[in-house]
Structures are given as C-alpha cells and as structure tokens.
A = this chain, B = another copy of it.
C-alpha cells in the first residue's frame, strides 16, 4: 500500500504535497477531490479528516494525516528539504507558519474569491489586497538578499510559499512589483521541474 494523497489540483496547499513527494521520489496515488463541488464535506471524507479539508493523506500504514505543512514536514523528515541545523530547521518552520497565517489567507483567498467564486473586483474584501501585498513585500525584502528563503538553498519553506505565490496574478496581485519574488518563483519552479 503506497501513500495516497487526497487533493484538489487547483489548490496550492495540495500541490505542495505533490511537489514534495515528487522531489523526494515517493510513490503515491492521487485522488482528486473537488472542494467547490463539496467533496470534502461528505461523511466518508470526514472520517479521514474531521476538519473536512484537503490535502489529506493516508500513509502507507493506513493512518491519515492533514494540514499541508504538517504533511510535507512528515514526508521530508530526514531529507535535505529540511535543514539539519536546529536554527535553520526552526526558520523553515517559521516560514511555514507565517505562510498559513499571513500569506495564504490573503494571497490564496483573494485568488479563490476572484478566479474560482468569480466575485467581482469591486466586491472583494479590500483587506485581502492590502495584506496580500504586505506579505509579498516582506518576501521581496528577504529575497532581494538571498536566492531562497532559508539557508541559501531549496527547502520546504520555498515549496510551501511558492504554491500560492506563483499563481498570485490570478488573485490580481502583480508580481512585476516584486522582482526578487518573481525571480525566486522561476528558480523554485525550475528546481521542482515545473517550468
């Protein structure tokens, strides 16, 4: 029994798991779950993940695990995608928590509202743009002085943050205003074989 990934291919949170598994050379089965169609809210799905969210994985031993960043951390433990140095590990986790708290709720949510729920520009919550741009500005400041987010090399921090940053334009964010972020997106995409 291999790893099974329950994911929605339009979700950056789910693609993080796919890219991490691919980078690590893990075998897996991908089960497509359509969030917009409500496929996470069935009783069957809730037995896997009571929070009714994708991605959810079922490990080779049959046990389920949820939360994109917890999943990629578990899959990548012991690999070079997580630094061995204790401080660099902690910085990697710092970016992962920041992504879920200060980046995804604005950059990804504005994309979802605009491009998936088709909410008109004028009706979008204005704080999504302000806070999303603040998140991109913080990344720009850091990436102007470093090719990657942690330790000068590809780690889970890059895989996690690139997921919604690379599609930020679908949320109405202009990456041309953040040239170091744009160059980093291309760099990470190349590392992951996405370009």
Interface on A for B, CB 8 Å cutoff? 50-51, 53, 59, 61, 63, 65-71, 73-74, 77, 86-87, 89-91, 93-94, 96-98, 100-102, 104-105, 138, 141-142
Contacts and interface: CB of A to CB of B under 8 A. Distances in A.
Contact of A94 (B70, B90, B97, B102): B70
26 contacts: A50-B138, A51-B102, A51-B138, A53-B102, A59-B87, A61-B87, A63-B87, A65-B87, A67-B93, A67-B98, A67-B101, A69-B93, A69-B97, A70-B93, A70-B94, A70-B96, A70-B97, A71-B90, A73-B90, A73-B93, A74-B86, A74-B87, A97-B97, A101-B101, A101-B104, A105-B105
A79 to B, nearest CB: 13
B50 A142 contact: yes
B50 A66 contact: no
Contacts of A93: 67, 69-70, 73-74
A86 to B, nearest CB: 7
6 tightest A-B contacts by CB?
A74-B90, A70-B93, A67-B97, A70-B94, A67-B94, A100-B101
A97 B138 CA distance: 21
Nearest to A74: B90
A142 B53 CA distance: 16
Contacts of A91: 65, 70
A18 to B, nearest CB: 18
A86 B60 CA distance: 13
Contact of A97 (B50, B63, B100): B100
Contacts of A101: 67, 100-101, 104-105
Contacts of A97: 67-70, 96-97, 100
